Structure 1
Amino acid sequence: MPAPYHRNALRHLARGALAVSALLASAAGQAAEELHLYNWGDYINPQVLSRFTEQTGIKVSLDTYGSNEEMLAKLQAGASGYDIVFPSVHMQDSMAALGLLEKTSIDRSPAFANIDPSFLRAKSDPKGEYCMPYAWGTVGIFYNKTKVSKPIESWADFFAEAKAGKKVIMLDDMRETLGVGLIVNGKSVDSTDLADIKQAESWLLERKPLVSAFTYESVPMVQSGDVAAAHYFVGAMMYVKQDPEHLAYVIPKEGATLYQEDMCVLKSAPNKANAKRFMEFFLQPEIAALNTEQQMNGTPNKEALKLLPAELRDNPEVNPGPEVMAKLQIFHDLGKDLKKYDRAWTRVRTAN
């Protein structure tokens, strides 16, 4: 074999080997495609994640948290590897101020038109350039109908059951639980007036002996009847749907808080492109509806709302009418004034 031909053959073989290596590297890269979510417990339908993986080949992992504060504390303590988090609106503003969020420009995606503009509530992100409205709902009272003397309609009814010797539970959540004290006294849950916060604190301290526990883990206790009623999220409707004969959820007559979770990509996210793909995937009405139908909460996706079964779309506890909506309040980022709540909550939690 002439030497020049031998060299050309070697070059072709080398090119072939490189091409095969590139293909193998590409396949390995595709196999290693990942997305890491950090979400509220039980706040995403597993079918949504499996469908995303089926469509994209991207493997999804999910860790959960019980409060905005828990999520932020873990991130600030150095937790890494998460791509997407789901903060409430006020926590999104706090995280934006801390420089933790990535600009995704999700608002430029054509399907972003499905999002009702009234849900662009974050002061730090009025156009939706960073985060996408994901879910909303109320925080009311979840109770066992067989363990109460009459249907619960108000916070007065809730504590009447406690005075009658029944066990009741409130959330171990500073803003939510102090928020109840503010609402029943006709104040804003975002008040920075020290007198208002002290009034809510005193109201809670008076009733603390009636509260069996402050916890997020109340669902199984209400289901079993060990606890008559609990301060809880509208997601409890998932369990009401399974056992309507024994369980109920109600928005108290005095009013309640309205929460909204948004889908945000962390600045430290290792898989930003995959995170953006997931946001765009969730903008599809059928996907947002799939999540909402299982979660039994509200959706900011206008087109998804149309796909929901009437018994969910028209359920007054999940999608309340204008009169009740007027009594709902949403938390805002309070900046340095949050310390007033911290001190009040510490006194409530440590009081004997």
Structure 2
Amino acid sequence: MTMKYLALGAVLALTPLGAQAEGKLALYNWGDYINPAVLEKFTEETGIEVSLDTYGSNEEMLAKIQAGATGYDIVFPSVHMQDIMSHLDLLAETDINEDPAFANIDPQFLRAKTDPEGKFCLPYAFGNVGIVYNKALAGDITGWKDFFALGDAGKKIIMLDDLREVIGVGHIMNGTSVNSTDEAEVEKAADYIIAHKKGISAFSYDSIPLVTSGDVAAAQWYVGANIFVNEHPDTLGYIIPEEGATMYQEDICVLKTAPNFDNAVKFLKFYLKPEIAALNVEQQMNGTPNTPAQALIPKEIADNKTIYPPQDVLDKLQIFEDLGRDLQLYNSEWTRIKTAQ
């Protein structure tokens, strides 16, 4: 996925990563994908000092871990990346599912094929990837067809710098699965994007300021765009495209190399508290797998149908799966998209 919200490289606390240190915890998460108040409360309750580094995509995170970054305790992979990391033996078994408060987790969010019981990771947050748009420039758009029409008409549109998300839109428009491993289907999905590439001004995560300013008419982005829609309700809007979209879910996982394993497990248990999960949603505007937390969420979030969609919309959302070696099909097509003139 990508950078879920704001600029990368933010560091919550300048705690050096490295050797085991009592009272420390090092998180590696998507950019601005956790409410700082959650981390502050954790420190208040436990005395454990938290540091936070951020990444922009699952692949970036995995590459850094595989390159030998051993100072991190916790990562927040998407479900398909959790499966990949499990196959690579990078994740620690936490037995978080044995905590009595694990009953707070809706079982439908135990999506990882490698962790169907939740022995390793804790379901964290879920959402969808739709379209954030400038109302004055984009008008009343309803889906991907309208989105690409803006670009074809000479207005600027931006897509994410993420091969699965971009090619996934091609699949959605062609009526094929975002997890297809059929070579012809993947090629046709890429063809759809290439056919509209002249109207795509960039593949980027940094689109919100440009859409807000009116430099860009619309952008493929995450449901967390509602944060900015709330700040600029007369300027911005966010939709789940009527043709369908992708959904994401991230889980909280502890690395096998975690220097502060016990503190990491404490954090997982802390996040099982409904009031903590609700506090995160309040600032992040994502869905939470914590069932009791949903009663604590502000009404304007709980009633927002782009955050908590009705069932008929949910049925059109597709979640990425680990494709194994077949991911190379997407890598090849992504190169073709990026280099197409």
- Match for residue 313 of structure 1? 302
Counterpart selection for 1:170 from 156, 159, 170:
159
Counterpart selection for 1:128 from 103, 106, 118:
118
Cα deviation, residue 241, structure 1:
1.2
- Match for residue 255 of structure 2? 266
* Aligned pairs, number: 322
Residue 190 (structure 1) aligned with residue 200 (structure 2): no
Counterpart selection for 2:70 from 61, 80, 84:
80
Counterpart selection for 1:147 from 112, 121, 137:
137
Counterpart selection for 1:327 from 316, 333, 341:
316
Unaligned runs of 5+ in 2: 1-19
Residue 37 (structure 1) aligned with residue 27 (structure 2): yes
Letter paired with 1:314? D
Identity %: 62
Deviations 1:164-201 (A, max 9, x none): 22110000001111000001110000001011101001
| Structure (1/2) with the larger helix percentage | 1
CA distance in 2, matches of 1:137, 1:260: 7
CA distance in 2, matches of 1:151, 1:272: 50
Cα deviation, residue 325, structure 1:
0.5
Letter paired with 1:287? I
Residue 97 (structure 1) aligned with residue 87 (structure 2): yes
Letter paired with 1:65? Y
CA distance in 1, matches of 2:174, 2:24: 48
> Is the 1:137–1:297 contact (alpha carbons within 8 Å) kept by the matching residues of 2?
yes
> Is the 2:151–2:196 contact (alpha carbons within 8 Å) kept by the matching residues of 1?
no
TM-score calculated relative to the size of structure 2: 0.93
- Match for residue 285 of structure 1? 274
CA distance in 2, matches of 1:231, 1:334: 23
Deviations 1:82-118 (A, max 9, x none): 0000000000000000000000000001111000000
SS at match of 1:81: coil
Structure label with greater radius of gyration: 1
Cα deviation, residue 31, structure 1:
8.6
SS at match of 1:212: strand
In angstroms, what is the RMSD of aligned CA positions? Answer: 1.1
Counterpart selection for 1:50 from 40, 43, 53:
40
> Is the 1:155–1:254 contact (alpha carbons within 8 Å) kept by the matching residues of 2?
yes
Unaligned runs of 5+ in 1: 1-29
- Match for residue 334 of structure 2? 345
Cα deviation, residue 163, structure 1:
2.1
CA distance in 2, matches of 1:311, 1:225: 26
